[in-house]
Amino acid sequence: MIPTAFDYARATSLDDAIARLQAAGGAGKLLAGGHSLVPLMKLRLSEPAVLIDIGHIPDLAGIRESDGVVEIGANTRHHDVATSALLRERCPVVADTAAVIGDPQVRNRGTLGGSLAHADPAADYPAAMLAVDADLHLKGPGGWRVVKARDFFQGVFTVDLAADEILAKVTFAASRASAYAKLHQRASRFAIVGVAAALETGGGIIRTARVGLTGAASSPSRLAGVEAALAGQPATAAAAAAAARGAGDGVSELNADIHGSAEYRRAMIPVFTRRALEAALARAGG
Amino acid sequence: MTVTPVLPKLVGQRVKRREDPRLIQGRGTYVDDVKLAGMLHLAFKRSDVAHGRILSIDTSAAEALDGVEAVFTGAQMAEMAGPLPTLLPFPAPERRAVATGVVRFVGEPVAVVVARDRYVARDAVDAIEVDYEPLPVVVDPEQAMTGEPVVLHADFPHNLMLASLPMGTGVGADGLVDDTAVDQAFADAEVVISQRMINQRLAPTPIEPRGVVAHYEPGKETLTIWSSTQSPHLLRTFMASMNGMGEDQVRAIAPEVGGGFGCKSAGSAEECVTAAVSRRLGVPVKWVEERSEAFLATNHGRDLIGYVDLAARRDGTVLGLKLRIVADVGAYNMIFTAAVPTSTMTMASGNYAIPAIRATLTEVFTNKTPTDAYRGAGRPEGIYFLERAMDMLARELGMDPAELRRKNFIRPEQFPHATQTGVVYDSGDYDKALDRALENAGWEQLKAERDAARADGRLVGLGLSMYVEVCGVGPSSALPMGGWEHSQVTVERDGRISATTGASPHGQGNETTFAQMLADQFGVPLEHIRIHHGDTAVVKQGSLGTGGSRSQAVGGAALHLAGGRVKTKMAKFAALLLEAHEADLVFENGRIGVKGAPSAAKPFAEVAAYAYRPIRLPEGLEPGLSEEAFFEPANNTYPFGCNIALLEVDRDTGEPRLLRLVAVDDAGRLINPLIVEGQVHGGLAQGIGQALIEEVVYGGDGQPLTGSLMDYALPRASDFPRFELDATVTPTPLNPLGAKGIGEAGTIGSTPCVVSAAVDALSGFGVRHIDMLLRPEKLWRIIHGARD
């Protein structure tokens, strides 16, 4: 890697990191796992004057649950999310998603917070965060602020995060009947289309459904039509297939590149919606 | 009582690679690990346009940066170094290492920066401003052949580097072509298969990109150049001639080399520039390629269009083949650029006794990175065209693809066999390899499983392909740098053995296989033997180095000859000490003894020590135990094999998934089956990779769309099932080892096999052929064609 020259600072606390961001006056960048930022610096597409390493801030990593609410610290590595017994049992869609990010090297270094804040339109996590309706906890000079995942993602590499704010953790209600299904791009392993589903079922009926989409378009989105079609339906594969059929009809600004045309991506949305729903239903357990 | 340990014979054993512990633990020394006092760092400003006239280059901002020592433009470099070398007697446009007036591909160097460190060097590169007058761009070779919209090199009308080179039946030594026999074959045909096929452009992508350190010492007037190269001796020759020096003044070193796959021969623009700059400045200079730079600047491979016509009778007898090749060579001719596609023609007959063949080759310039050798280098393309056509013929005739092949095989008794394309196959038993593969795959049962899966609605297909290829590349009549290889074997005074080889490895495991051979030859432990390579000051001679799967068949043969010479001499000393006849001596278990009288044996080291202090010197003998040999192969070797693939296409997404890959390779005698399997694994990954995973893509404006590993997919272990490998052994008579070569085999046999499996899987949709790359979307469009 041959980046432009930069200073490096190791933050000792969230407040320390925020102060350093402010001092850098817009020329600072947070370094967590480095798996989005460092490749950009290598290509000189990102030229920060100072890197503020938040990787050593205590208590910024970890997965815990209390009162049905799961909390994941921003510095938690993909590998730790993928292999978390708690998540596998209580909210498998998040573990599913982490398990198919990149390759082992990426999963061992990359972090949840870094991926969400970077907001690559083909990243995997956004779909899962939309499906579990996650709250993103941001800390800035003025204190804490909570943003819903659906409001956080605003466009290509664009999120609701001020230059002196830090995404510190996410929280969400556990959803057992949940899953992620993905068509991966064969070079980068990013999602050509990724669909995350979280269902609330009972008495053989789907009470509510949340379905998040990533990769297909310029920013992640909820598949509201699918969600509406599922609500109140029997918790069966047939219902899932029927609801998935029109998935993505309203999605605009489809991505297109050598790995998949817009037409192909559009056609893949129903396929992976059905797969995610079927896998989620299989976990519903009545 | 002490028991003499018995040393097992090692040739043929699965000995673990001795190279691996140091490489796995990060203890290898690659070019980038070479650090010399006062060393400066070099970086290239490269063209970001595919075709343009350089109007101006402003280097002032770069020169003003603290730490920048020098900036050279093309005009300045032209005064420091001659044109880049090409090796073969084909016409080629002159190419300067740094462009002087016109740039012809994205990535062509336009200026050179030398700085205190590589960060400053990169800053300076970014600070250079180049103004181009845009010129029209052509990226499609068949468009380029019209001469429109632009001609890249004025001396090559219609962009033709080679207008039409004929080969095959009825081509006279004078180049005159008599088509009577070929025309007759097609007139007699009951069925003709005709298909245009793409063999797409690939990026070799070794895990270690290229790199060079050059150190010119003005006082001694010597140049030492470290390069991540497959061919240190060839590099020495080029560096001497380009810099107006003698070969005695140049030392070339290939330290650890992290893969080459053909793209690290020698004589690159970067080697030439780094050496010339060191010579100009009188200090050591280092250049190490960045990965994204490698996608632009390291040669690409393949990129052929083949027009294949196969004539046959309805009983499956092949009567004739026509193969017209259009090779997109990119913007320039490099070292082997022009020659690579000629192998596509020479191997057009494959494993079959085809009585009439007409092959023609056209080579075309386009505004892309130049092509050159890439693993297989011409043979994968030829086997692909032929085997895909054979598969189409089997489908057309309703024949089992295995039986169609068998019907046309060159029979074992027909070897040595001269093909219509003018090469002589040394030995072969194709039925044996085919039968073994069919047996290992469970061919009949596999067909039943495929049919059952299809009945369940799954898109499952079977593919089978044969291959024969060229290894042991030589002889000298075929290669300008000579086709021999050299070795020197020395028994040191303590009984250890040092050996050198000109076959400079970059992953082939010669340090292990060559030591296995010497251990058996001298009856000493493997641990007492060291193989030296990759330094022209240590290895006295070498020709091509490593390439063309020649390490064992040519380099190994030289080592075996040199070892034999030392052993003969050592036996004379031993005979004196043991008062025995040389002919009665046995070298085993670290001792030299007399047959039938084991108690009289002398330790190997004692005889070695005596040879260096011969108190009584046998008459006519010089002291010491060091002998060398040049091995000149009489001809190439022709290994062969069979691949079978079972593949499923996801009906919803078009994703192909390889379920089974059965390979049987016959590379003659195997020194180390474990290393052979490793070579086959890597070869298969790249061969299957061409079918399913890898492709260099350019936009119509000549901009690369696969400029990084984010878009250029490389094969990964998770893409494959466990390969099912096996070997048959048909020795070659052409070298004392009977070994043929294995480095490229997997890359050659697997590609058509996998594509044929995909075509079979989708045969229900009416397809006869699918061009690579088999991207999921492409297959999805075939499956869901009705919806488009």
Quote the minimal CA–CA distance from A258 to chain B in Å.
8
Contact B653 A259 (CB under 8 A): no
Instruction: Write down the pLDDT at residue A85.
Output: 98
* CB burial of residue A238 (10 Å; 0-12, 13-18, 19+): exposed
User: Residue-wise over B347-366: b if at least 16 C-beta within 10 A, else e?
Assistant: bbbbbbebbbbbbbbbbbbb
Q: Considering chain B, what is the average pLDDT of its residues?
A: 96
Could you tell me if B286 and B39 are in contact, meaning their C-beta atoms sit under 8 angstroms apart? yes
pLDDT tens per residue, range B738-747: 999 999 999 9
Smallest Cβ–Cβ distance between A2 and the set B122, B706, B714 belongs to B122
Could you tell me if B283 and B250 are in contact, meaning their C-beta atoms sit under 8 angstroms apart? no
Residues of B with Cβ-Cβ distance to A260 under 8 angstroms? 776-777
pLDDT at A286 > cutoff 60 = no
Dihedral angle, C-alpha A104, A108, A112, A114, nearest 10 ° = -100
pLDDT tens per residue, range B122-134: 999 999 999 999 9
φ/ψ (deg, to 5) at B291: -65, -45
* CB burial of residue B568 (10 Å; 0-12, 13-18, 19+): exposed
Could you tell me if B673 and B739 are in contact, meaning their C-beta atoms sit under 8 angstroms apart? no
Q: Which residue of B has its CA nearest to A270?
A: B652
Quote the minimal CA–CA distance from A2 to chain B in Å.
6
pLDDT at B354 > cutoff 80 = yes
- Chain B residues contacting A via beta carbons under 8 Å: 118-119, 122-123, 126, 290, 292, 652-653, 655, 693, 697, 705-706, 708-714, 716, 775-777, 780, 784, 787
Instruction: Write down the pLDDT at residue A261.
Output: 97
Quote the minimal CA–CA distance from A215 to chain B in Å.
15
Sheet of B357-365, strands arranged across: B160-168, B357-365, B318-330, B301-312, B191-202
Could you tell me if B634 and B459 are in contact, meaning their C-beta atoms sit under 8 angstroms apart? no
Residues of A with Cβ-Cβ distance to B776 under 8 angstroms? 183, 260
Contact B716 A43 (CB under 8 A): no
Contact A264 B716 (CB under 8 A): no
Give the separation between CA B740 and CA B425, rounded to whole angstroms.
11
**CATH placement of domain B377-471+636-784:** 3.30.365.10
Contact A258 B655 (CB under 8 A): no
Residues of B with Cβ-Cβ distance to A258 under 8 angstroms? 697, 705-706, 711
pLDDT at B85 > cutoff 90 = no
Contact A258 B122 (CB under 8 A): no
Tell me the mean pLDDT in the region B203-210.
97
Residues of B with Cβ-Cβ distance to A187 under 8 angstroms? 706, 709-714
Token pair 């067909």: residue: B447
Domain with CATH 3.30.390.50 in chain A: 177-284
Contact B290 A258 (CB under 8 A): no
* CB burial of residue B785 (10 Å; 0-12, 13-18, 19+): exposed
pLDDT at A177 > cutoff 80 = yes
φ/ψ (deg, to 5) at A35: -85, -5
Quote the minimal CA–CA distance from B52 to chain A in Å.
24
Contact B122 A260 (CB under 8 A): no
CA distances from B293 to B13, B299, B302, B734 (A): 41, 11, 20, 42
Give the separation between CA A39 and CA B568, rounded to whole angstroms.
59
Residue B725 makes CB contacts below 8 A (sequence gap 6+) with B663, B664, B665, B677, B680, B681
User: Residue-wise over B83-105: b if at least 16 C-beta within 10 A, else e?
Assistant: ebbbbeeeebbebbbbbbebbbb
Quote the minimal CA–CA distance from A232 to chain B in Å.
27
Token pair 């000149």: residue: B632
Please name the CATH architecture into which domain A63-173 falls: 2-Layer Sandwich (3.30)
Q: Which residue of B has its CA nearest to A275?
A: B652
Name residues 82-111 of chain A within 8 A of B (Cβ): 103
Quote the minimal CA–CA distance from B376 to chain A in Å.
23
Quote the minimal CA–CA distance from B133 to chain A in Å.
26
**Which of B295, B711, B773 should one mutate to test binding to chain A, selecting the residue with the greatest count of A CBs within 10 A?**
B711
Q: Tell me which amino acid residue B713 is.
A: A
Confidence of residue B3 (pLDDT cuts 50, 70, 90): low
pLDDT at B378 > cutoff 70 = yes
- DSSP H or E stretch at residue A221: strand A221-222
Instruction: Write down the pLDDT at residue B786.
Output: 43
pLDDT at B598 > cutoff 80 = no
Mapping DSSP onto H, E and C, the string for A162-217 reads CCCCEEEEEEEECCCEEEEEEEECCCCCCEEEEEEEEEEEECCEEEEEEEEEECCE
Residues of A with Cβ-Cβ distance to B697 under 8 angstroms? 258
DSSP-based three-state secondary structure for B712: coil
Could you tell me the fold of the domain covering A177-284?
Enolase-like; domain 1 (3.30.390)
Q: Which residues pair with A169 in a beta bridge?
A: A73, A137
- DSSP H or E stretch at residue A272: helix A262-282
Token pair 């761009």: residue: B137
Instruction: Write down the pLDDT at residue B8.
Output: 87
Could you tell me if B535 and B251 are in contact, meaning their C-beta atoms sit under 8 angstroms apart? yes
What size, in residues, is chain B? 788
Instruction: Write down the pLDDT at residue B45.
Output: 98
Helices then strands (H, E): number in chain B? 20, 28
- Closest Cα partner for B776 from B687, B647, B602? B647
Q: A271 at the B interface (CB within 8 A)?
A: yes
Residues of A with Cβ-Cβ distance to B780 under 8 angstroms? 264, 267
CA distances from B132 to B125, B151, B366, B423, B554 (A): 16, 17, 18, 48, 48
pLDDT tens per residue, range A239-260: 999 999 999 998 999 999 999 9
Instruction: Write down the pLDDT at residue A90.
Output: 96
**Two tokens, residue B395:** 């489908």
Please name the CATH architecture into which domain B34-135+206-260+264-297 falls: Alpha-Beta Complex (3.90)
Classify domain A7-53 at the CATH class level. alpha beta
Residue B277 makes CB contacts below 8 A (sequence gap 6+) with B42, B70, B72, B80, B112, B114, B214, B285
ipTM of the complex: 0.96
pLDDT at B681 > cutoff 90 = yes
**Which of A264, A272, A273 should one mutate to test binding to chain B, selecting the residue with the greatest count of B CBs within 10 A?**
A264
User: Residue-wise over B184-196: b if at least 16 C-beta within 10 A, else e?
Assistant: bbbeebeebbebe
φ/ψ (deg, to 5) at B308: -110, 130
Smallest Cβ–Cβ distance between B712 and the set A103, A187, A264 belongs to A187
Domain with CATH 3.30.465.10 in chain A: 63-173
Instruction: Write down the pLDDT at residue B5.
Output: 65
DSSP string, A224-242: HHHHHHHTTSBSSHHHHHH
Name residues 164-183 of chain A within 8 A of B (Cβ): 183
φ/ψ (deg, to 5) at A123: -70, 155
Tell me the mean pLDDT in the region B578-590.
95
Contact B652 A258 (CB under 8 A): no
**Two tokens, residue B189:** 């045909």
pLDDT tens per residue, range A203-224: 999 999 999 999 999 999 999 9
Q: Are strands A191-202 and A205-214 parallel, antiparallel or unpaired?
A: antiparallel
- DSSP H or E stretch at residue B201: strand B191-202
Please name the CATH architecture into which domain B20-26+475-631 falls: 2-Layer Sandwich (3.30)
User: How many other C-beta atoms can be found within 10 angstroms of the C-beta atom of residue B397?
Assistant: 17
Q: Which residue of B has its CA nearest to A261?
A: B777
Instruction: Write down the pLDDT at residue B87.
Output: 79
- Closest Cα partner for A107 from A72, A80, A85, A129? A80
User: Residue-wise over B723-761: b if at least 16 C-beta within 10 A, else e?
Assistant: bebbbbebbbebbebbbbbbbbbbbbbbbbbbbbbbbbb
Residues of B with Cβ-Cβ distance to A39 under 8 angstroms? 710
Rg over CA atoms, chain B: 28
Confidence of residue B89 (pLDDT cuts 50, 70, 90): confident
Tell me the mean pLDDT in the region B1-21.
85
Instruction: Write down the pLDDT at residue B787.
Output: 45
Please indicate whether the domains covering B20-26+475-631 and B377-471+636-784 agree at the CATH topology level. yes
Contact A264 B780 (CB under 8 A): yes
Confidence of residue B788 (pLDDT cuts 50, 70, 90): very low
- Closest Cα partner for B117 from B225, B39, B30? B39
The percentage of chain B sitting over the pLDDT mark of 90, rounded to a whole number, equals 94
Q: In this complex, how many residue pairs, one in chain A and one in chain B, have their CB atoms less than 8 Å apart? A: 50
pLDDT at B763 > cutoff 80 = yes
Confidence of residue B1 (pLDDT cuts 50, 70, 90): very low
pLDDT at B596 > cutoff 90 = no
Smallest Cβ–Cβ distance between B711 and the set A39, A183, A258 belongs to A258
| Domain ranges (residues) in chain B | 20-26+475-631, 34-135+206-260+264-297, 377-471+636-784
Q: What is the CA B638 to chain-centroid distance, rounded?
A: 15
